Amino acid sequence: MAKEPCFKRILLKLSGEALAGNQGYGIDPDTINGIANEIREVVDLGLQIAIVIGGGNIFRGVAASSMGMDRASADYMGMLATVMNSLALQDALEKAGVITRVQSAIEMQEIAEPYIRRRAVRHLEKGRVVIFGAGTGNPFFTTDTAASLRAVEIGAEIILKATKVDGVYNADPNKDATAVKYDQLTYLDVLKQGLQVMDSTATSLCMDNNLPILVFNLTQRGNIFRVVCGEKIGTIVKGE
């Protein structure tokens, strides 16, 4: 029996590093094609999917500003890196047979549509995947905040935050063998404890709009499919 998705419309948040694979920098073809095939499986279920990608595999604005570069300039460069990732993922998705549109918060008419909320929703309704590039279009805001903002704007039911670990822990599980995984957290837990889910602006925006965040491991094949079909994996962050 075919599995049924638990959601109609989701927003998938990918880090730029997710595209780098084991090489740690740039875009790894095998990794990005694998992600595209997983997304296609979810689209085939009839699910509407929007995506926000970070740019950390190419350029990190925060890291550059810590070395003396003007923060606003560094953040704009980071936004351009997210557009490069968006175009790479669009190419991989279309090769996998998924019609995809990139919408950029910074206008670049030759390579991407401008971000227009109603147009984005129309694409989703037609079964296209929409990738939101260039963050929010403003410096000092992360791509996590862009993911929260776009998810609320398009009426997504949940943010799926793809990471390299299988949920949220009270310490770094790669460094601390006693780290404990949380199955469920409230937004206030995340904010008070400073847990590495999303930054405080993104978390607050989700809290204000009662938008759940599910943190899960992208590196395990098939996890996106499992999540949207309701399997209990990762850590869910929601209201009381």
pLDDT at 2 over 70: no
Location of structure tokens 């409230």? 186
Question: Which pLDDT score, from 0 to 100, does residue 1 have?
Answer: 38
9-238 falls under which CATH superfamily?
A: Acetylglutamate kinase-like (3.40.1160.10)
Kindly tell me the sign of the dihedral angle through the C-alpha atoms of 202, 203, 204, 205: positive
pLDDT at 196 over 50: yes
> Model confidence at 177, in pLDDT bands (50, 70, 90)?
confident
Q: What digits encode the pLDDT tens for the residues 41-93?
A: 999 999 999 999 999 999 988 889 999 999 999 999 999 999 999 999 999 99
Nearest alpha-carbon partner for 82 in 109, 51, 110: 51
Question: Which pLDDT score, from 0 to 100, does residue 37 have?
Answer: 97
> Model confidence at 3, in pLDDT bands (50, 70, 90)?
confident
| Phi, psi dihedrals of residue 104, rounded to the nearest 5° | -110, 135
Nearest alpha-carbon partner for 151 in 198, 202, 104, 192: 202
Q: What digits encode the pLDDT tens for the residues 9-32?
A: 999 999 999 999 888 899 999 999
